[in-house]
Amino acid sequence: RKEVEQDPGPFNVPEGATVAFNCTYSNSASQSFFWYRQDCRKEPKLLMSVYSSGNEDGRFTAQLNRASQYISLLIRDSKLSDSATYLCVVASNTGNQFYFGTGTSLTVIP
């Protein structure tokens, strides 16, 4: 079983739409969770960390459900510039190993 699983998509949504991505993880001892964004032919960039209480950064909201072992990313009022691949990442309980999902592709359409 994979450490982290994501729906690969693709998600094609119109500008202004709200879109949500989910990701499940297998190790209940995992301590840290992140969402990364990767543009075509570029490196992944840290979008936001995910905290137990949930956290928001502008149009982006991340949530963690430890009981069900999943994390989510919600993007409100989608912009064309949000088009990218979004990677779910889970860190080990030691904090020095990271497990990546294969990514979810998002295209925002005018």
Partner 1 sequence: DVKVTQSSRYLVKRTGEKVFLECVQDMDHENMFWYRQDPGLGLRLIYFSYDVKMKEKGDIPEGYSVSREKKERFSLILESASTNQTSMYLCASSFSGIGQYFGPGTRLTVT
Residues that bind partner 1 (CB under 8 A): 31-32, 34, 36, 42-46, 49, 87, 89, 91, 94-98, 100-103
Q: Are 15 and 80 in contact (CB under 8 A)?
A: yes
* Least distance to partner 1, CB of residue 38, Å: 9
* Least distance to partner 1, CB of residue 96, Å: 5
* Least distance to partner 1, CB of residue 95, Å: 4
> Two tokens at 62?
């991340």
